Amino acid sequence: MTPIAQKHFIGICRLLGRSRKQFKLSPNYLFGCTWNRNIQLDLSGYNFTDYEIERKSYDLQAPKYFNFAHDFIDQWAHAEKVGLRTTSVPSFWWVDSQTKTEIKLSFQQLSHISKRVANALVGGCGLNRGDILILILPKIPEWWFINIACIRAGITLSPGTMLLRTTDIQHRLKLSQAKCIITSPELAHYVDEAANTCEKLTKVIVGGKTETRPGWLNFDALLEKSSDQFQNVRTKATDQMMLFFTSGTTGYPKMAEHTHASYGLGHIITARYWLMLNPSSIMWNLSDPGWAKCAWSSLFAPWINGACVFVYNSPRFDPMEVLQVLSKYPITHFCSSPTGLRLMKTEKISSIKFKALKHCTAAGEPVNPELIENWKRETGLEIFEGYGQTETTLVCNRSPSIPYKEGSMGKAVPGVNLYIVDDDGNVQEPCAEGNLAIKITPNRPIGLFAKYLNDPIRTAKSFLGNFYLTGDRGYMDQENYVYFVGRADDVISSAGYRIGPFEVESALLEHPAVLESAVVSSPDETRGEVVKAFVTLTQDYKNADRDKLVQELQNHVKAVTAPYKYPRKIEFVEDLPKTVSGKIRRVELRNKEWNKT
């Protein structure tokens, strides 16, 4: 057993109050909860078969008070206790990639652990309702425990990827005014560098009791002192629950605020109409814990429908390893980025026999028709595309009840009225290109974000009259099928990552060789598109070796910001195209790149 697997296995046994030999799947814990009568568990695992009927009959309304931990996690725990949900399918299934060590938890155990973690956050860390906690962890069980615990305690959680570095963390701490940050030993020194001006920041390290660092609390030590008796905070549906940093075309990432209802309840749509989950489903989503897509398909949607969240803790994406996992474990539902599926398709996929897989989904970037056709030919399974944003839950998708049209993302989901509008907010005729927009009157979709925190200007720019503007361009045909054209802004979507050009340009400008830079998307056969930087050089570097300088600049960006943002292509130019007012015309550079193909 690897050290990390051993730490988590022993730690969870300790949380449940039993030795390793006594560890079992589903002890009979007792819970005394008063349920929210407006929330109904989907015990039947109903999958809709008629899209039009679903749209007409859809009527999801948020109650005044709602809490995902109380109204779903604890209800499913109660359902297990009274025999309405089997414990033969765990709620959480974690596998270590190196040793294949497994940890399985029932909803009763998940409820039990998250209450203890909630006490650690409130009692041990001194956090109160409404405080903000930044969580940066890899795919380890504690990430899920802390998420549920924060929801229980009314603490706002802001997740971040392990790829963040000092500058990224510093920006997030400053903008969010977080009271606490929890991370792993690998990122602790970056946090120390970023937090040198934060006087009242509580820092917690996760990684076993032996992990100590000056000025830090140890997560396991906090848990040892914490009780598993916790009174769930009675949160309003409109209370702030999560903050996601999302990239934009100008400035650093902004904070999209989601409420207890918008993600905790709004993902009913995701669970029912796209992932199509039920209590016997085992869902494996490849998204990194730092991204909103992980919250979508590895937390809220599966547990809303009582399904199992499967997590394979691997340090990197290996297409053959993914295929082997699908052939070894009884995973029924799978979600990947289209880039991941394309890489898997390059392996001898036809020789792989999936153990239980029956439903494949993809999101994060457009799914090209060739991938859909090849995947079905090789595996016999459809790929059902889903479209949404950090700011939303599911907006539109393909499903078995919607006949496939080549090039289309499917249709708007029940509860979302999607339109194509021009720049003045006028609804376009069928097949006319325009802005993809969600109508917010007379009923605002539950899954829509509340606002960009502390940024009323950016929030206002996202709305136009009765519409929320997604920032993407597309069109709809006469049958209301939705077609994606491209982004209205300059945000780059590469292999499922959203990358703002300003962040990369700022990193480049810190290097003495760079006078000016402009970052745009560039076509790439594998990733769909990649980051390309156009760079003008300072006088001292005019005669530098260009090949060596490219590598030097790439390494520089990797060092000062999250490595996934680095420019995979760099072109040195004498001048950058600009407007009369001196603003760089990225659109001209981007068009130059894409017109090459």
CA trace torsion 504, 510, 512, 513 (10° rounding): 10
Residue 517 confidence (pLDDT) above 70 = yes
pLDDT at site 281: 96
Residue 213 confidence (pLDDT) above 70 = yes
- Name the strand (E) or helix (H) holding 571: strand 569-572
List, as one string, the DSSP characters of 64-125: SB--HIIIIIHHHHHHHHTTSS-SSS-SEEEEETTT--EEEE-HHHHHHHHHHHHHIIIIIT
pLDDT at site 585: 83
286, 267 in Cβ contact below 8 A?
A: no
> By residue range, what is the domain housing residue 538?
492-595
Which residues on adjacent β-strands are paired with residue 240?
259
In a domain, 168, yes or no: yes
Confidence of residue 214 (pLDDT cuts 50, 70, 90): very high
The tens digit of pLDDT for each residue in 298-321 reads: 999 999 999 999 999 998 889 999
Residue 290 confidence (pLDDT) above 70 = yes
Does 579 or 302 have the greater pLDDT score? 302
Cα–Cα distance measured from residue 135 to residue 122, given in angstroms and rounded to the nearest whole number:
15
Instruction: Strands of 299-446 (E only): list them.
Output: 308-313, 333-336, 359-362, 383-388, 394-397, 411-412, 418-421, 434-439
Cα–Cα distance measured from residue 228 to residue 211, given in angstroms and rounded to the nearest whole number:
23
Cα–Cα distance measured from residue 109 to residue 298, given in angstroms and rounded to the nearest whole number:
18
pLDDT at site 340: 87
pLDDT at site 251: 61
In a domain, 445, yes or no: no
In a domain, 232, yes or no: yes
Which residues on adjacent β-strands are paired with residue 533?
519, 570
In a domain, 537, yes or no: yes
Domain count, the chain: 2
Among 243, 266, 289, residue at a domain's last position: 266
Residue 107 confidence (pLDDT) above 90 = yes
Q: What is the mean pLDDT of residues 375-398?
A: 95
Indicate the range of 82-86, 137-141, 484-488 predicted with least confidence: 484-488
The tens digit of pLDDT for each residue in 113-138 reads: 999 999 999 999 999 999 999 999 99
In a domain, 546, yes or no: yes
The tens digit of pLDDT for each residue in 322-372 reads: 999 999 999 999 999 888 888 888 787 888 899 999 999 999 888 888 889
28: number of Cβ within 10 Å: 9
CATH code of the domain covering residue 563 = 3.30.300.30
Confidence of residue 46 (pLDDT cuts 50, 70, 90): low
Using left for φ > 0, alpha for ψ between -120 and 50, and beta otherwise, residue 471 falls in left
Cα–Cα distance measured from residue 97 to residue 86, given in angstroms and rounded to the nearest whole number:
27
Sign for the pseudo-dihedral over CA of 84, 89, 90, 92: negative
Does 584 or 127 have the greater pLDDT score? 127
Among 216, 242, 266, residue at a domain's last position: 266
Among 250, 266, 282, residue at a domain's last position: 266
Cα–Cα distance measured from residue 294 to residue 139, given in angstroms and rounded to the nearest whole number:
10
On average, the pLDDT of the chain sits at: 89
Cα–Cα distance measured from residue 302 to residue 271, given in angstroms and rounded to the nearest whole number:
6
The tens digit of pLDDT for each residue in 136-176 reads: 999 999 999 999 999 999 999 999 999 899 999 999 999 99
Placement of tokens 């990390």 in the chain: 4
Does 457 or 247 have the greater pLDDT score? 457
Indicate the range of 29-38, 392-401, 458-467 predicted with least confidence: 29-38
pLDDT at site 366: 82
pLDDT at site 227: 94
In a domain, 409, yes or no: no
Which residues on adjacent β-strands are paired with residue 528?
524
The tens digit of pLDDT for each residue in 221-258 reads: 999 999 999 999 999 999 999 999 987 555 678 899 99
pTM, two decimal places: 0.84
In a domain, 458, yes or no: no
Secondary structure of 406-450 as H, E, C letters = CCCCEEECCCCCEEEECCCCCECCCCCCEEEEEECCCCCCCCCCC
In a domain, 201, yes or no: yes
* Nearest Cα to Cα of residue 311 among 282, 291, 340: 282
CATH code of the domain covering residue 251 = 3.40.50.12780
